[in-house]
Structure 1
Amino acid sequence: MARAEWANYHNNSSSGIYNNGRGKLCSYKRSTLVVCSINIVVALFVLHSLYTSLYRYPYNDSTNAFRYTSDQISKMKESIRIRKESEPTELIKLVEELKKEFLREERVVEVPLSLKQKIADELLLRLRAVNASGNSTVQREAVEGWRKEKLREVRLLTSGKPANSTFLPEEAGVLVRALGSGWAEFSEEIGLWIPLQIIHEEHDDKPEGVDDLDREILPGRQLPPECHAELHTDYDGAAVKWGLTNPKESAYDCCMACLDQAKMAKPNEKKCNIWVYCPSETGCYSPDIYEHKNQECWLKYAEQPKLNFKDIYPDSYRSSHRNVPVTVAWVAGVVSV
């Protein structure tokens, strides 16, 4: 009986140990499966997140990665609208129109030669009508009055309004700038050069013996009485010093060069007794083949000095020669040697 009980106890103990071991073994496998399942789920989630991010923000379009919200977009549109409404549109439009008009006036337009001749003829008639050949102030006032009158006429013609003008409508377009902002250059082109004149109204400080023509302003020092300067004058004579290669800074320097040459000349050489100078920045006209430029100084000799031209070129001469200006631009003088 005791042996049988012991055997039974032994069997029950062994069975319990076996059952406990199998229970432990089943619990370990279950834990491993749970952990593996969790790892797989996490891995799948990470892969899904990476795939989704690559799909939404591709590497070659990173600039479009940021997206504005609808509220931000509406605020930006409102800001742009307010900025445009606050712009001075009328002022901007006016400035643009002024720019176009300025560029249109500044555009260089070549005035035909026939039209230049026509303008020069009208200016000559106006100067003769006021008997202004000997007074530069009267000349200037007559020319300025003519210019303003013709400028009003051509502006009426360009606007399509009727005007009693000596110019044709097709000529008015090129004359707007020539008679307006480009008058200084155009007057030089047609040879119109009127020097300034100083009038001493309150007191007369002119040195004794100085001719009235010396009161008109010329570049450089004031000419002394022995130069006998004459504006708008061109004297003939044999060239003692070639003017094309003898530039001088002023009429004063040209006269002094003539006086110095006469003093230093040898007994068998011609002594300068005529000096002719070009003060005009655009050059001076002369009836020869050369182009005479500013600051040319001609030293001449003539036993009996003879005028080439004085004050204004004659109509008969201008009608038979092309490109002749209205007035004589040279300054000259006959000195005693």
Structure 2
Amino acid sequence: MARAEWGLQGRGKWVCSYKKTTLIICFLNIAVALYFLRSLYASLYIYSGNVSRNIVMYTPDQLQKMEESIRIRKANKPAKLVKWVRKLEGEFSRGMAVVQFPQHVKQKITNEILQRLRSLNSSGTDIAHDISKKREAVESWRNEKLKEAKLALTDKTSNFTIPHEEAGMLVRALESDWAVLSEEIGLWIPVEVLNEEHDDKPEGELELEEEVLPGRPVPPECHGELHTDYDGAAVRWGLTHHKDSAADCCQACMDHARNAKEGEKKCNIWVYCPSEFGCHSHDIYEHKHQECWLKFAEKPRVNFKNRYPESYRNAHPSAPVIVPWVSGVVSA
């Protein structure tokens, strides 16, 4: 019996000491938390005091000198130069913002111009006169279409053949973006004619002189053909081979054939891109201005000539109406 009482008293003391231990641990945790909070507050106070002490206080004399410096900089600012630069940037941005015509609109414009050109009677001998007539016919069509577009734009209630939403694009394109639109639809009429007195040349060379190519004239042995793309195995890639003119491209082909080693394919076809806007092709590459392709073929064959077929343009919407390349087969 005495042992039992002692056991109960022992367990009571043990329970009592367990509670005390728990209270002591909680008290210590609270004390540690308060200590950390106090340390954090003290560090923030010290940081804010340092920031406030780092504020620079300028004297009135220093402030006056700074204001004078700002005034001098503003007075010496090249206002006229800035104005001219902004004006040039505005003109450049307007020039780059070319109207993007839908394909059916460009096709309609192309058909109208071709119909106007077909109505002309060609003399067949006086090339300069024929080109002048073509230029006048295109300019006459342009003025008539511009007048019609402006009327359709201002008079919304009248029944015009030009929809009102297309009239604004036409007015801008025919006035400020006419050169770019002409390039997109494949219209290329020369300003002047080279060697117009040589009427005894073959028909192929007369066709070459109907349009002006940059650089020196293409020699007769190059047999240059405008709006023509010859097929063949490339012996020199034009993507990394550029020439200043079609004549230089032909000369590169002849030099390649002359210097080719035994067993190598000798260049007998040259293909040149004269357009500043690049030339279309059905491959995956972007063909740029002055590309010069050197090719070889035992039996030269034409890929495209004059105009791209309608079926081809339907399959390739980005293709122009007229073939932009210039090419030829050199004399053996």
Give 2:99's aligned residue.
110
Aligned amino acid, residue 123 of structure 1: I
Pairing partner for 2:256 from 261, 271, 294: 261
Give 1:276's aligned residue.
271
Distance 2:248 2:162 in 1: 44
Pairing partner for 1:285 from 249, 260, 280: 280
In the alignment, is the contact (CA less than 8 A) between 2:99 and 2:177 conserved in 1?
Answer: no
In the alignment, is the contact (CA less than 8 A) between 1:120 and 1:325 conserved in 2?
Answer: no
Structure 1 residue 267, shift from structure 2 partner: 1.7
User: What are the superposed Cα offsets for residues 36-91 of structure 1, whole Å, 9 maximum, x if unpaired?
Assistant: xxxxxxxxxxxxxxxxxxxxxxxxxxxxxxxxxxxxxxxxxxxxxxxxxxxxxxxx
In the alignment, is the contact (CA less than 8 A) between 1:106 and 1:177 conserved in 2?
Answer: no
Alignment of 1:295-306 (within 5 A): 295-306=290-301
State which structure, 1 or 2, has the greater radius of gyration over its C-alpha atoms.
Answer: 1
In the alignment, is the contact (CA less than 8 A) between 1:247 and 1:295 conserved in 2?
Answer: yes
Distance 2:206 2:161 in 1: 37
Structure 1 residue 137, shift from structure 2 partner: 4.8
Structure 1 residue 197, shift from structure 2 partner: 4.6
Range with bigger deviation, 116-125 or 134-143: 134-143
Identity %: 58
Aligned amino acid, residue 248 of structure 1: K
1:239 matches 2:234: yes
Give 1:46's aligned residue.
none
- Tell me: CA distance 1:145–1:120, structure 2 relative to 1, closer, same or farther (3 Å): same
Pairing partner for 2:113 from 116, 123, 132: 123
Structure 1 residue 301, shift from structure 2 partner: 0.8
TM-score (norm: length of structure 2): 0.62
TM-score (norm: length of structure 1): 0.61
Distance 1:163 1:254 in 2: 54
- Tell me: CA distance 1:256–1:109, structure 2 relative to 1, closer, same or farther (3 Å): closer
Aligned to 1:271, the other structure's residue is in SS state: coil
Structure 1 residue 194, shift from structure 2 partner: 2.9
In the alignment, is the contact (CA less than 8 A) between 2:99 and 2:173 conserved in 1?
Answer: no
Distance 1:123 1:208 in 2: 29
Structure 1 residue 196, shift from structure 2 partner: 4.0
Aligned amino acid, residue 108 of structure 1: A
User: What are the superposed Cα offsets for residues 235-292 of structure 1, whole Å, 9 maximum, x if unpaired?
Assistant: 1111111011100011111000000000011121111111011111111111211111
Gap regions ≥5 residues in structure 2 = 1-90
Distance 2:146 2:158 in 1: 11
Gap regions ≥5 residues in structure 1 = 1-101
Pairing partner for 1:321 from 303, 316, 325: 316
RMSD value, Cα:
3.2
Aligned to 1:211, the other structure's residue is in SS state: helix
Structure 1 residue 138, shift from structure 2 partner: 5.0
- Tell me: CA distance 1:324–1:244, structure 2 relative to 1, closer, same or farther (3 Å): same
Structure 1 residue 180, shift from structure 2 partner: 1.3
Aligned to 2:271, the other structure's residue is in SS state: strand
Structure 1 residue 131, shift from structure 2 partner: 7.9
